[in-house]
Each structure stands twice: as structure tokens, then as C-alpha cells.
Chain A
């Protein structure tokens, strides 16, 4: 399992680790039974993601994907963050091994769920920003398909 230099960089020096409390939006994806779980917390001011933190239990690719994904949305308007894709995260990391592509999908899902949470808290319809773009959990275990 060979990881790119960028993956190793984000794995060994992860950016934006932690938890914002209070947060304006919280998103969790994956579950420990499947080996990966991510928690994203957002602080949003005037439609801009002012700060974002992540906590991830998972493999090297999961930690690197979370770190990279938070870097890609920090300081951006939520409308732009809502367009984040797993592919963009994987590409920014210099690629992921095929067996690890689900890790970037998990990062996308956690961020989009956090954005959806923000919208819901504000009485907005998440679909207006996110459309149908929140991906399902990549695993097929019972908990995630509920």
C-alpha cells in the first residue's frame, strides 16, 4: 500500500485537528465498526467557513483525507464548500490507492452533513445548497444503511 507524499504529509502533520465548541454545524460520517469515523465541526460567519476542525478514527488515508478536505473548505463560502467532491479531495492528495478511495468519500460526506446541519439549525432547507449531493456512506454495514 503505497501512499503519495501528500498523503503522508497530511497524515503526519494533520491540519485543523480538534473540535469547535460551540459549532455552527456538526457532521459525522462512517462508524468505528467499519474502521473509519469522522467528525467535522464548522464555524460559519456571513456565509463563509471561518473555521473547521476534524477528528478522525481511521487509517492513514482517512486521516489525510479529513485534513485535506478541511483545508479545501476553510475560508470558503458555503456555496463553494458544498461543491466539494471525493474526487477533488483524492486528487489534491496526489491520488489514493483504489482500496482507499472510500476515505475521501467519507470526508466529503462528513463535510456535507456538517453543512446540512448548519442549514437545518438556521431553518434553511439543506437541499438548496447541497442539492442531492450528500453521498451515502461507502460501507454497506447495517448501521450505515439505516
Chain B
């Protein structure tokens, strides 16, 4: 048995540990069944079968066909492929506009920025104070030039869930392709690409207790799409290169386990999340970022006035608590998180953000420790601040 960790992990949105059964499902494809899936002999056929079963398992979890799943090396790769692929294919029909939102992950935003340099026009939709895209505003932004709409399923900083089904319906009605970056959502929220009218969807295994280094892109059948990597016939020739068989198996088993336990995990995490949120909001001059109701089950994002996020993270780390922040100082730039700024949070407050994303086995006593520690540390940092007394007086 591994040793019990002596720290509290509250950064599940960054990454998750591999589950033991997932590791066990993967291991045979490293040594015993190491064959190349393209080979004709038995070891190759075994690997090929494992790969195709992984594809089927993954497809079942989001309600698509196995041949609509393409394994990639990451969620970022899937986002890049989806957006650049559609953009380049649609440009041939004269459609050169992309609609996305201001709160997307950099995997989407920087991809869009790269396309702008190529001459595409990109509309970045505002989100409102609650961090959600308004479907009517999206509909109003559509033109006959629109090649693609890309709106994330759930935001990585605030945990806010976007109205994906409504957006899907609008896009389908107008015949515009809809991509969603579901990296934070897959395995944590129900996904049905058919019912939700999703044309392309990105996901990443390590966000749902699968291995790092493997993601997937769902591309609805019939969409004309350029290849990502030319070479052999792997991934139906669209993403060549010998497949990460163990990774694909790990992704699919982790996703299947996550989907099977979703209802139970959600029911357990939401009360814990809400109790911890309420406790944190009792701290003077604190605020919740994003929508309170439409939020990932274990996700809390708050801002504390009068502190800077990185100091808080360092102090939490010294107390054995792993968390995250949207502060500038954690990213190496001077600007605070683009997501928090898009929510209309002033920069001086956005610098004091804290993100807690709870793992499935998070306990009530861990929640109490986190609350007590954060409360003490925020007070300590405020006592160091030259502004706090003034802020407090208003």
C-alpha cells in the first residue's frame, strides 16, 4: 500500500492521480501486448483490438460512433486540430469568421490568435458577471461568414458551466459547426454529443483520473476535415504515427469509470463544495467568481481583497495544501487572469484569487482544515498589506 499523503490536494482541475484499475488496464500494453497495432500478426492484432475497444468505450461515454473518436496527445492538441481544421476547411467556402468567448483556455484563445494572423476574423463573446455566455448574444453574432463556434463546456478557472445545449441548438439551426473544449467537463458532467448538437469536442484523460499525454477529439461524421499529421494510416490517416495504445486504453477506462460513478460523486461533492464555499465567503471582503449554481461539482473560485494569490498559494503549500490561483504572479505575466477580468472583476481584486478543485475522495475534515487555514492566512497576508486598513475603512 502506498503511504497516505500528508498533504491535502485541492487542485483537481490541474490534474488528477491515475486510478489503480486504470493503471492495471494499461499495463499489459507496455510489455506483454506491446505489438504495433498496424502489424498483421497476433501481438499486433491484440493491440489493435485494445485500441478499437478503447475507441468504442470512449464513444459510448459521450454518445457518438467509435469512428468519430480520434486519439490525440492532449486536450490542447485536440483544440488546435478542431479549430484550425475547421477554419482551414471552411475558408475554401469563403467562411473566415470564428466565434468564441473571452474566457476560453489559452489552447483555444492562442489558436484563434494564430488564425487571426492568417487573416481569419475572430469574435470574442463577452461573458456576464456570472461567467456565462448568453446564447442570444451568440446567435446575434452569427453571420453567413461564420465557420465555427467554439465555446468551452466548463471553465477551468471559475468552474462555470456554459449553456452548451442551447448553443448547440442555435448552431445547428444556422448550419454552423460547434466545437466545445470539454477538458474540464468530461468525466465530471454528462455529455451527449448527439442530443446536445455538438460537432467537435476535445477532452483530456488526466483530468478524469486517466494518464497524462493522451486526449481525444470527437469529430462528427461527415465533416470535411484536414489531416493533423500526414504519414501512415493511423487514426484513419488523419493523425498519423504509431498509436499510444496503453494511453488510449487508460483514457477510455478512466472515462468509463468516471461516467459510471458520476452521479454518486456529484452528490457527494456538491454539499462539500457548498459548505466550503459558504465558509470562505464568510471571510471579510471575499467574493465567489462565476455562477454559483452552474458550476462543476468540486470547483470553488473566490477572490479575497487585499491579498495577492501567489503568496497565499505559497503559504498554503507550506501548510501542506495544494491549490491554484489566477493571479498574475503564478503565470509569469503582470496581468491577472483573463477569465477573471472578463467577469468584470477589477485587476486589484483579481490578483487575490484562489481556486480549489476537490478530488472525489475529499473529506469533510479536509474541508474544515482548508477553511481554517485559508482564513488564517488571508488575515496574515492582509496584516502585511499597506492598503488593507484603508480598504477596510472603505
**B311 x A11 contact (CB < 8 A):** yes
A43 to chain B, nearest CB (A): 17
**A57 x B328 contact (CB < 8 A):** no
B363 to chain A, nearest CB (A): 27
A117 to chain B, nearest CB (A): 15
**B384 x A17 contact (CB < 8 A):** yes
A interface residue count range (under 10 / 10 to 19 / 20 to 34 / 35 or more): 20 to 34
Stretch at the interface among A59-67, A84-92, A123-131: A59-67
A113 to chain B, nearest CB (A): 13
Q: Tell me the residues in window 21-45 of chain A with beta carbons closer than 8 Å to chain B beta carbons.
A: 28, 31-39
Asked if A12 is at the interface (CB within 8 A of a chain B CB), the reply is: yes
Distance between Cα atoms of A17 and B381 in the complex (Å) = 11
Name the residue on B nearest A60 (C-beta): B314
Given contacts A59-B327, A139-B334, contact A38 B310 (CB under 8 A): no
**B385 x A57 contact (CB < 8 A):** yes
**B332 x A99 contact (CB < 8 A):** yes
Given contacts A1-B330, A35-B334, A139-B334, contact A58 B308 (CB under 8 A): yes
Residues of A within 8 A of B347 (CB): 33-35
Q: Tell me the residues in window 347-394 of chain B with beta carbons closer than 8 Å to chain A beta carbons.
A: 347-348, 351, 381, 383-388
Distance between Cα atoms of A35 and B336 in the complex (Å) = 8
Asked if A14 is at the interface (CB within 8 A of a chain B CB), the reply is: yes
Asked if A56 is at the interface (CB within 8 A of a chain B CB), the reply is: yes
Residues of B within 8 A of A48 (CB): none
Contacting B310 at CB < 8 Å: which of A19, A32, A60, A102? A60
Residues of A within 8 A of B328 (CB): 34-35
Residues of B within 8 A of A102 (CB): 334
Contacting A60 at CB < 8 Å: which of B311, B332, B333, B346? B311
A54 to chain B, nearest CB (A): 8
Given contacts A32-B348, A36-B308, contact A59 B329 (CB under 8 A): yes
Distance between Cα atoms of A39 and B332 in the complex (Å) = 23
Distance between Cα atoms of A32 and B329 in the complex (Å) = 13
Contacting B385 at CB < 8 Å: which of A1, A11, A28, A56? A56
**A62 x B386 contact (CB < 8 A):** no
Binding site for B on A (CB under 8 A): 1, 3, 8, 11-12, 14, 17, 19, 28, 31-39, 55-63, 99-100, 102, 139
Binding site for A on B (CB under 8 A): 306-308, 310-311, 314-315, 318, 327-330, 332-334, 336, 346-348, 351, 381, 383-388
16 more CB-based (< 8 A) A-B contacts, given A12-B318, A56-B384: A1-B330, A17-B383, A31-B348, A32-B348, A34-B328, A35-B308, A55-B386, A57-B381, A58-B308, A59-B310, A59-B329, A60-B310, A61-B329, A63-B311, A99-B333, A100-B329
